Amino acid sequence: MADLAEIGVIGGSGFYSLLDDVREIKVDTPYGPPSDSVFLADVAGRGVAFLPRHGRRHTIPPHRVNYRANVWALRSLGVKAVISPCAAGSLQRHVEPGHFVVADQFVDRTSGRADTFFDGPIVTHVSSAEIYDPVLRRIALDVIREHGITAHDGGTVVVIQGPRFSTKAESKWFSDAGWEVINMTQYPEAYLCRELGMAVVNISLITDYDAGVLEGTEAVTAHDVLAVFEQNATRIREVVLDMVGRMPADLDALGAAAALGPTRGDGHAASPDDIRLFRTWG
């Protein structure tokens, strides 16, 4: 099982729908079922695991996604690097609908989500200072631009609880803070990937201006978001599949798993014989 995939993609069902020899498997986790089956395929000679974040029919709202089960399922299959595209709103005028943002930071404005694997008894503190992998971010930027899409190098995604959209006051607050993107799923998804030693990269597909960004702009609706996202579906699919072919041959060299080494709170009492969670997989 550990060698079934090395790269994971968390997104919609469109990423694998046109691939040959896709195999659907169900993965059990200690945290309950993931959002859907995992779909395995070979892309450019690399084993890839695709997981629909909201289920293949988009039936799971963002605040109800079982993020821990999703991330655990991918890691248990051997995944070491995750591509995490998402629909997002713009908080800045220069970030226009149709643009892609390769985020480098997030701000968590969610509440009540199960957001860690480390509930004890070993106290563990994983840094999220640089949450998104710089090597994967550079690959994403290069591929996006080669496809003729406007890409923003870096940006902060503020993650709101959902399923409601922001008020104009909230939107203006986020915009005035200088954040670029607003979304409902990057936290805790991206952070959980890092807790299990997987490198992660986000591509935010800008579908609209958030409510308080442009004076006179009508409030966004779910239909607006889905319409623009569908227009981008083919473009992001091509970008993601091309990215897989550019991934480093040695994904361990990205250092995501190695970064977990100093995270154990009782490190002063650690023994070489102790077994950490992230060392139980290949």
Active site (catalytic) residues: 208, 210
The residue type of 65 is V
124 DSSP 8-state letter: B
Residue 171's Cβ-side half-sphere holds a number of Cα atoms within 13 Å equal to: 23
Gyration radius (Cα) of the chain, Å: 18
User: CA 238 from chain center: how many Å?
Assistant: 17
Map residue 45 onto helix, strand or coil.
coil
Nearest to 104 by CA among 67, 73, 135: 135
Nearest to 116 by CA among 33, 49, 52, 187: 187
